[in-house]
Amino acid sequence: MNHQNHITPVNMAPSDQTDASAGTRNQQWLKQYHQSHAHVFGTPLRVLDHGRGVYVWDVDGHKYLDFLAGIAVNTLGYAHPTWLQAIEKQASQIAHISNYFASVPQISLAQKMLEIAQAPAGSLVYFANSGTEANEAALKLARLYGRTLTSADKPARILALNHGFHGRTLGALSATWKPAIRTPYQPLLPAFDFIPANDMAALQQAFEPTDQTGKNQQAPVAAIILEIIQGEAGVCPLNAAYLKAVRQLCDQHQALLIIDEVQTGMGRTGIWFAFQNENLCEGITPDVVTFAKGIASGFPMGGIIIFGQQYASLFTPGIHGSTFGGNPLAAAAALATIDVITRENLLGNARERGRQLQQGIMSCGNPLFKSVRGTGLLQAIELTHPCAHAVASWALDHGLIINAVAANAIRLAPPLIIQAEDLQAGINILAAVPQDLADD
């Protein structure tokens, strides 16, 4: 059924304009944005004012159903009372302390992270403030580990996958594939090698002592960093056999397996971490897991879990650090997020709503939609032709926030609190997307 007739644009009514000659409030604020912000993000889509649950409102008062959640960040949606209370209480108690001191929320959170990751005895947590910083810490750990395998003047290699995304600071960028964001910053860090995802032969070759020609020696591999579902690449899962081979080769060659769960972690795929998915990762234990995005439901935080004492002991006093890492406010927001995920069974909800989303999209009758991929509430719709930006723009004009993650793919990552009715409302808008849209 096509719902096109029932879907009306939300943000085109001239009556909303405060002063027609000055434009809408969105336009006025965006003009000032441009005059005051470095232009790294292009033009923001709207200027948002507030949010409640799974809805946000812009400065002109238009309401949007949010199927992006700040890019898989707002686990609990907007202004969840438990999250709000936790931050308010912590702010009134103690907000920031530096790492010369510790706080109870920080300690409790580290314990909780070890518990939900089912990390073995001796495992430890390091807190940072974002995904890129989490990966930065993991890569620094890998460099330290590499020094135990080879000399510093011929560093052990770190493998990363084509289409992988790990962040934009120079270290994490060195493991990030996309040429458009890498090239302007070259030279990046040495001894990073990219291999195609899900390619067994290339994986095997990367661990060999000589390169493909058989003539040149290769340094040993210190680590491989990967996402189990490549989020920024368009929500593309690795396959189970490949992941098994990665773990085996890491064991065989004493290399670290770093799993980047920045986007997939903290319940997004219907389990705490994607590496706990038995279908995809049976028997696979990582050596390092990185997390950020959804952990504190909108409060900036990231970090790593180092599995086992052998690797955890590589970090010694002074070797790495951060002013804000483990900040009590962020830790309180994260503890509240984990508490609500557990109490409200948001893992189960993510699994169920994920199934509803897949079925709803595939049965909605929109011929633009070729397939849906992903797990839980991290999904992407593959389109029949490259018009994702036009689709996202049309949806926004009709009250739904979605993301053109690739030219022919739409990413859907609503808050984990979303209920069946709101999810269906979003599917109805998607069902009504016209077929004749084309990207500029």
Ligand X SMILES: Cc1ncc(COP(=O)(O)O)c(C=O)c1O
Residue ranges that bind ligand X, judged by CB under 6 A: 130-132, 135, 165-167, 227, 231-232, 260, 262-263, 292
Q: How far is the CB of 356 from ligand X (least distance, A)?
A: 24
Q: How far is the CB of 139 from ligand X (least distance, A)?
A: 12
Please say which residue, 70 or 105, places its beta carbon nearer to ligand X: 70
Annotated active-site residue 165? The verdict is yes
Verify cis geometry, omega within 30 degrees of 0, for the bond prior to 179. Answer: no
Cα radius of gyration rounded to whole Å, the chain: 22
Q: Strand runs (DSSP E) across 216-261, as ranges?
A: 221-226, 229-230, 236-237, 256-260
299 is catalytic: no
Tokens matching residue 23: 């434009």
Cα-based distances in Å from 331 to 126, 239, 298, 318, 385: 12, 34, 12, 22, 43
Residue 31 bears catalytic tag: no
User: How far from chain centre, in Å, is Cα 322?
Assistant: 21
What is the closest distance, in whole angstroms, from the C-beta atom of residue 306 to ligand X in the complex? 17
Q: Which is nearer to ligand X, 229 or 431 (CB)?
A: 229
Give the active site residue among 293, 299, 369, 422: 293
CB of 72 to ligand X, least distance (A): 7
Q: Which is nearer to ligand X, 259 or 427 (CB)?
A: 259
For the bound state, the minimum distance from the C-beta of residue 62 to ligand X, rounded and expressed in Å, comes to 26
Which run of H or E residues covers position 192? strand 192-195
Beta strand extents in 314-402 (DSSP E only)? 369-375, 378-383, 400-401
Q: In whole angstroms, how close is the CB of 255 to ligand X at the nearest point?
A: 20
Question: For residues 292 and 402, which CB has a smaller minimum distance to ligand X in the complex?
Answer: 292
138 within 8 A of 167, measured Cβ to Cβ: no
Q: How far apart are CA 109 and CA 160, in angstroms?
A: 29
Q: What share of the chain is helix, strand, coil (3-state, %, to 5)?
A: 40, 20, 40
User: Which residue is it, tokens 């994702």?
Assistant: 388
Closest approach of ligand X to the CB of residue 164, in Å = 8
> Which residues contact residue 126 at a Cβ distance below 8 angstroms, ignoring those fewer than 6 apart?
137, 303, 304, 306, 315, 320, 325
Whether residue 296 contacts residue 268, with contact meaning beta carbons closer than 8 Å, is answered with no
Element (H, E) at 388: helix 388-397
- In the bound complex, what is the minimum distance in angstroms from residue 63's beta carbon to ligand X? 26
CB closest to ligand X, residue no? 131
Over the range 308-324, which residues count as b (16 or more CB within 10 Å of their CB) and which as e? beebbebbeeeebebeb
Please, are residues 185 and 178 in contact by the beta-carbon 8 Å criterion? no
Q: Which of 67, 127, 165, 207 is catalytic?
A: 165
C-alpha–C-alpha distance, residues 331 and 301, integer Å: 8
Q: Nearest approach, Cβ of 225 to ligand X (angstroms)?
A: 9
Q: Which residue, 292 or 432, is less far from ligand X as judged by CB? A: 292
CA–centroid distance for 84 within its chain = 22
Q: What is the largest CA-CA distance in the chain?
A: 72
Contact between 435 and 383 (Cβ < 8 Å): no
Q: Which residues are catalytic?
A: 165, 260, 293
